[in-house]
Amino acid sequence: MKPDDNTSKPTDPHKKWSIIIDKKQYFAEKNPITGAELKALAGIVGDFDIFKVVPGHGDDVKVGDSQSIDIKDGDHFYSVPRTLNPGACDAAARI
């Protein structure tokens, strides 16, 4: 790394990455980071999935609990219940 290069390597022990999870700011202290670590950072418990927001027209990316991903300052993530089933009707509402 050149002396005038201001970018930090993922292994920089003093670097913190500012990220947003469920509209709240958090500071990750490691990079890459796993889905489980992202959820722990945000205090997400239970049966939830976490997704990384992909700007533009691309699909957001699901981050598995054991999957490691590289992050950068300003990355956005959101959580959703794993049992979410959009479009499903409540059985009682059909009666």
In terms of pLDDT, which residue wins out, 11 or 31? 31
What are the phi and psi torsion angles at 71 (to 5°)? -120, 160
Q: Is residue 9 part of a domain?
A: no
Q: Is residue 31 part of a domain?
A: yes
Q: Is residue 25 part of a domain?
A: yes
Residue 20 has pLDDT above 80, yes or no: yes
The encoded tokens of residue 92 equal: 């009682």
What per-residue confidence (pLDDT) applies to 8?
A: 47
Number of domains in the chain: 1
Q: Is residue 91 part of a domain?
A: no
- The CATH number that applies at residue 45 is 3.10.20
The encoded tokens of residue 71 equal: 């992050």
Q: Is residue 53 part of a domain?
A: yes
Q: Is residue 47 part of a domain?
A: yes
Q: Is residue 3 part of a domain?
A: no
The encoded tokens of residue 23 equal: 């509209």
What per-residue confidence (pLDDT) applies to 86?
A: 63
Taking only the tens place, the pLDDT of each residue in 44-89 is 998 999 999 998 888 999 999 999 999 999 999 999 999 866 666 6
Q: Which residue segment(s) compose the domain that 69 sits in? A: 17-82
Q: Is residue 10 part of a domain?
A: no
